[in-house]
Amino acid sequence: MAAESTFSNRRGAAGQATSPESGHGRQADPARLAFDDVSHRYRTTPVLDHVSFTVKPGEIVCLLGPSGCGKTTLLRIASGVEQQSAGRVFLDGREVAGPSGFVPAEERGLGLVFQDYALFPHLTVMDNVLFGTDRRGRSAAIGRARDMLERMGLARYERVYPNVLSGGEQQRVALVRALMPRPRVLLMDEPFSGLDRTLRDQVRTDALALLRDTSATAMIVTHDPEEAMLIGDRIVLLRAGRVIQFGAPEALYRRPADLDAARFFSELNEMTAEVANGAAVTPLGRVPVPGLADGTEVVVAVRPQGLQLSGLHGDGAAAQVVGRRFLGESERLDLSVDGLIRPLVCRLPAGTAPEGDRLRVSVTPGAALLFPQPAAQAHAPGARRTAAG
């Protein structure tokens, strides 16, 4: 299967999918994509469980979650490549999959971009980009293609073949090709994960700029929370086929729905605690927990950047530095604290950490996240440290 394709409501002369706006005419209006109580299973294995959310016209929504949570299956259902077991899918209020009927993939006007971009090796960059456009509007399509290639820094490669391009350049070409037929919604399945970090950052920036310029509605699959926060207007956090949380990146990061959601977005220092007189009592001091009854067991989770350090005569719990690592823009310190089984992790801007191996550590006001204590952890002493998912 080609890494990128575009589905629409008619076929070109050579049998390729084309769009009603391909190569000429105005930009197609971005569509609203909605999932209503969608469930799916492969034989007896449930993959999606009552999924409901809406992608607004012109919005970029990221599907985020660990491997096997149903992200790609949801993308395939949206495209029409796969039909869900239950529920409904709507495009601009029209039911395209559900009890009322099923609209084939080629009639939905959607674009797909996959991680494995697989450009046609026997076609030049320009011919790859023009593949699927209506030949009747060829001159207009060429002008549009040149404009998009220019915006992606690919103008000089118009007449070359894909084998001379880098991975990042090939991914840019695949994105331009997907946008050429003016799809109503662009669906992207981990499009940047195959690139090295530096290249991934640049390609992602260029792709985001192009999506904004074209006002395309987009749904993008990723397993990288930082990437989701960087490019998504909103994020759908999936776990085991269910929507755990849906909202703006800052809302998911600052107000995670549960402890596992917080763990997925960042490394955490976790301390089990009991509420007394309106505060959770931890080895680092008291953390306010208004509204919880005395005796309630909670998990106090603090991100590495949510700890503050001072010298021996400062405030906080006594800590022994058991590890220091310079990380360029930041410094990581591992801190042993009485009452905690495992060292805490603290991250500070490089050059700001106090000198010496004996310090004081406390929780920055407002930095603690509080969650009910999971039953399996009840009465477990000490602290747990988790890495981001």
| Residue owning tokens 């005419």 | 25
CB 344 within 8 A of CB 361: yes
Residue 277's CB is within 10 A of a number of other CB atoms, namely 7
Confidence (pLDDT) at 23: 39
Confidence (pLDDT) at 343: 96
Alpha carbon distance 26, 346 (integer Å): 53
Confidence (pLDDT) at 381: 45
Alpha-carbon dihedral sign for residues 162, 166, 167, 169? negative
| Residue owning tokens 């440290």 | 385
* Residue 374 pLDDT level (bands cut at 50, 70, 90): confident
CB 254 within 8 A of CB 266: no
pLDDT at 22 over 70: no
Q: What is the DSSP string of 249-313?
A: HHHHHHS-SSHHHHHHHS-EEEEEEEEETTEEEETTEEEE-TTPPTT-EEEEEE-GGGEEEE-TT
Which CATH number describes the domain made up of 267-386? 2.40.50.140
pTM above 0.75, yes or no: yes
Q: What is the domain partition of the chain in residue ranges?
A: 4-254, 267-386
Q: Using alpha carbons, list the distances in angstroms from residue 321 to 5, 9, 34, 159.
A: 54, 64, 51, 59
Point out the least confidently predicted range of 136-150, 267-281, 357-371. 136-150
pLDDT digits (tens, 9 = 90+) for 214-240: 888 999 999 999 999 999 999 999 999
Q: What is the mean pLDDT of the chain?
A: 87
Determine the average pLDDT of the residues in 63-79.
96
Determine the average pLDDT of the residues in 364-376.
87
Alpha carbon distance 134, 91 (integer Å): 24
Alpha carbon distance 338, 48 (integer Å): 44
Torsional class of 208: left (φ above 0), alpha (ψ -120 to 50), beta (otherwise): alpha
Please give the structure tokens belonging to residue 186. 């662009």
Alpha carbon distance 11, 134 (integer Å): 9
Backbone angles phi, psi at 328, to 5 degrees: 90, -95
pLDDT digits (tens, 9 = 90+) for 245-262: 999 999 999 999 999 999
The angle at the Cα of 281, spanning 279 to 287, to the nearest 5 degrees, equals 45
Confidence (pLDDT) at 383: 56
pLDDT digits (tens, 9 = 90+) for 283-339: 999 999 988 899 999 999 999 999 999 988 888 999 999 999 999 999 999 999 999
Alpha carbon distance 256, 265 (integer Å): 9
Determine the average pLDDT of the residues in 2-19.
36
Confidence (pLDDT) at 200: 86
Examine domains 4-254 and 267-386 and report if their fold is the same: no
Alpha carbon distance 364, 381 (integer Å): 23
Confidence (pLDDT) at 228: 97
Confidence (pLDDT) at 27: 54
Q: Which amino acid is at 127?
A: D
Statement: 4-254 belongs to CATH 3.40.50.300: yes
Confidence (pLDDT) at 7: 41
CB 220 within 8 A of CB 61: yes
